[in-house]
């Protein structure tokens, strides 16, 4: 028997999807795997995640609440502020830039503001990172307008 093996890859579609929300949220077995991975990451955070969490936990940053290792759509984000539609991601040194860019695009397409920092940047000097996050959290933000601005154009009459 020759079993076909499925692999995870990045789609290189030439045309954008008409509705960016289609396929955004994970369901079923994929969601359960994401939950387990997020739980595992909360139990053993990286040094950069631990250092930043000390600054964000307990509503220390302007009184807004952050959660850590949260599932947003089909992406596990390091820190999320649901009230302000902001997520913070820390990229390890060996991170795949294409995957990071795809995750950022999926989130921003539905109106989530994404802040991404290198792990070395967080560990070297935490203060500017925290100031950047505070500035973004305190910025006025209209989620619906951002989602409309980032939405893929609809092509009427196009055959799909």
Q: Do the domain assignments include residue 83?
A: yes
Tens digits of residue pLDDT in 9-59: 444 444 444 454 555 666 778 888 989 999 999 999 999 999 999 999 988
Which residue's structure tokens are 């951002």? 146
Token couple for 29: 């077995």
Q: Do the domain assignments include residue 144?
A: yes
DSSP-derived secondary structure letter, 44 = S
Sign of CA dihedral 40, 54, 47, 67: positive
Tens digits of residue pLDDT in 76-117: 999 999 989 999 999 998 889 999 999 999 999 888 999 999
Q: Do the domain assignments include residue 5?
A: no
C-alpha to C-alpha distance for 69 and 41, rounded to whole angstroms: 7
Which domain covers residue 125, as residue numbers?
A: 46-150
Q: Do the domain assignments include residue 95?
A: yes
State the CATH number of the domain containing residue 131.
3.40.960.10
For the entire predicted model, the pTM comes to 0.73
- Whether pLDDT at 65 is above 60: yes
Q: Do the domain assignments include residue 125?
A: yes
36: three-class secondary structure by DSSP:
helix
Q: Do the domain assignments include residue 7?
A: no
Q: Do the domain assignments include residue 84?
A: yes
- Are 20 and 157 contacting, i.e. CB atoms less than 8 angstroms apart? no
- Whether pLDDT at 6 is above 50: no
Q: Do the domain assignments include residue 74?
A: yes
70 compared with 12, residue with greater pLDDT: 70
Give the per-residue pLDDT at 149. 59
Q: Which has the closest alpha carbon to 75: 44, 104, 113?
A: 104
Structurally, the chain folds into a number of domains equal to 1
């Amino acid at each position: 028997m020759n079993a076909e093996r499925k692999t995870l890859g990045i789609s290189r579609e030439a045309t954008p999807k008409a509705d960016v929300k289609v396929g955004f949220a994970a369901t079923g077995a994929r969601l359960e795997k994401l939950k387990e991975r997020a739980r595992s990451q909360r139990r053993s955070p990286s040094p950069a995640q631990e250092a930043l969490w000390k600054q964000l936990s307990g509503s220390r940053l302007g009184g807004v609440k952050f959660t850590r290792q949260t599932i947003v759509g089909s992406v596990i984000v390091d820190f999320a502020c649901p009230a302000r539609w902001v997520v913070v991601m820390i990229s390890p040194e060996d991170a795949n830039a294409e995957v990071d860019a795809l995750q950022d695009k999926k989130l921003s397409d539905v109106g989530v503001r994404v802040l991404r920092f290198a792990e070395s940047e967080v560990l070297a000097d935490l203060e500017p990172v925290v100031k950047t996050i505070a500035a973004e959290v305190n910025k006025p933000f209209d989620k619906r307008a951002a989602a409309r601005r980032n939405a893929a154009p609809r092509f009427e009459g196009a055959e799909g």
